[in-house]
Amino acid sequence: MNQPASLPFALPDRQIMSVSGPDARDLLQRLITADVQTLSAGTCRPGALLTPQGKILVDFMMFADGDTVWLDVPAGAADGLLKRLTMFKLRARAEIVLNTNILALWSTTPFPGSCEDPRLGGRVHRGLGEAASETRALDMIEIEAGIPAFGRDYGEADVFPTDVNLDAFGGVGWKKGCFIGQEVVSRMKRRGTIRKRSLPATFAAEAPPPGTAVMAGPTTVGAISSASGHHAVILARLDRLRAAEHYCEADGQEANIVVPDEFWADLEAAPKV
């Protein structure tokens, strides 16, 4: 790994896991949500391991280098992921290792070996390395963009991948074949029952704290899952937002909520009754 001239930041509370060997990609391909076979060097992609019921056990950012796939994992979930992947490995020719000497890195400008974070539209570059200028979290940037995060906005087995927009960021390979929990998640897509989404919201003053209900008149449309400054991430019901006859507010403040067009399209795909 090349060390950049100007060191990027290290992400706190992350661990790097490597899955390497001739069967590494095949192993991950049949277990996790993302398409691993099409992941190329110079790119990164989010992915997740799900419960059989389709909820996220842990998610991560993936990088690839030939027969090695690197997983940038929340530190608190790394041991559990290692145990589960090892359990599923069976006779696959793959080695799964937690690499304590490698850091999860990011910067607002490219650095050697980095790639654009697909969730943040070129604002952040991610990579791996052995040295950093300092440790700095991505919370402020993520929350402003409406990006939820494991451990901050949701925990183990709390949400479906679509609740936290994993599919919108390229983290669900709808056409790649089976993975754990695939039947449930694919059925939601086919039947047009994706009604919950994580959305960015802006407030005129300090955003209310996580857990605050978001209301449209008498109707609860969602709740704040994280907040920073004037910005918040809201897990919202799209059908209730669409039907709302009042502006949205939280703790007495008007919430300016942005809904991407593709999320409305998913809702429009729901069968009409």
Q: Which domains does the chain have, with CATH numbers?
A: 9-138 (3.30.70.1400), 191-268 (2.40.30.110)
Categorize the per-residue pLDDT at 4 as very low, low, confident or very high, splitting at 50, 70 and 90: very low
Q: What is the secondary structure of 40-74 as a DSSP string?
A: -TT-EEEEEEE-TTS-EEEEEEEEEETTEEEEEEE
DSSP tag of 135 = B
Question: pLDDT digit string (tens) for 61-75?
Answer: 999 999 999 999 999
Whole-angstrom CA distances from 81 to 15, 29, 85, 105, 250 are 11, 15, 6, 21, 36
Question: pLDDT digit string (tens) for 77-101?
Answer: 999 999 999 999 999 999 999 999 9
Residue carrying structure tokens 């703790």: 251
C-alpha angle 200-128-125 in degrees, rounded to nearest 5: 40
State the average pLDDT for the chain. 94
What percent of the chain has a predicted confidence (pLDDT) above 90?
89
Question: pLDDT digit string (tens) for 234-256?
Answer: 999 999 999 998 899 999 999 99
Distance from chain centroid for Cα 36:
16
Count Cα atoms within 13 angstroms, Cβ side, for 38. Answer: 13
User: What confidence score (pLDDT) does residue 237 get?
Assistant: 96
Q: What is the mean pLDDT of residues 98-108?
A: 97
Of how many residues is the chain composed? Answer: 273
Question: pLDDT digit string (tens) for 168-227?
Answer: 999 999 999 899 999 999 999 888 889 999 999 999 999 999 999 999 999 999 999 999
Q: Which H or E element spans position 83? A: helix 75-89
pTM of the model: 0.94
Task: Check whether 6 has a pLDDT greater than 70.
Answer: no
User: What confidence score (pLDDT) does residue 265 get?
Assistant: 81
User: What confidence score (pLDDT) does residue 19 get?
Assistant: 98
Residue 161 to residue 174: CA distance in whole angstroms = 12
User: What confidence score (pLDDT) does residue 245 get?
Assistant: 84
Residue 87 to residue 181: CA distance in whole angstroms = 17
User: What confidence score (pLDDT) does residue 193 get?
Assistant: 83
Categorize the per-residue pLDDT at 271 as very low, low, confident or very high, splitting at 50, 70 and 90: low
User: What confidence score (pLDDT) does residue 273 get?
Assistant: 43
